[in-house]
């Protein structure tokens, strides 16, 4: 995978809270 900004990968804004990041990460983890 090309090195990309992880906010972009998760589809969240740079100002996302830790909880939002966790939620987005879990959603992505389920996809893979």
More confident residue, 5 or 3: 5
More confident residue, 31 or 11: 11
Q: What pLDDT shows up at residue 13?
A: 85
Instruction: State CA 20 to chain mean position distance.
Output: 8
Residue 28 in contact with residue 10, Cβ under 8 Å? yes
Domain count within the chain: 1
Q: Give the Cα separation of 1 and 17 in Å (integer).
A: 25
Q: Give the Cα separation of 7 and 17 in Å (integer).
A: 11
pLDDT in tens, 14-26: 888 889 888 988 8
By percentage, how much of the chain surpasses pLDDT 90?
Answer: 3
Structure tokens at 6: 């992880």
CB within 8 Å of 30: residues ≥ 6 apart: none
Whether the pLDDT of residue 30 is over 80: the answer is yes
Whether the pLDDT of residue 12 is over 70: the answer is yes
């Amino acid at each position: 995978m090309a090195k990309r900004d992880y906010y972009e990968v998760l589809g969240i804004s740079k100002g996302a809270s830790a909880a939002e990041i966790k939620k987005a990460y879990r959603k992505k983890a389920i996809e893979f």
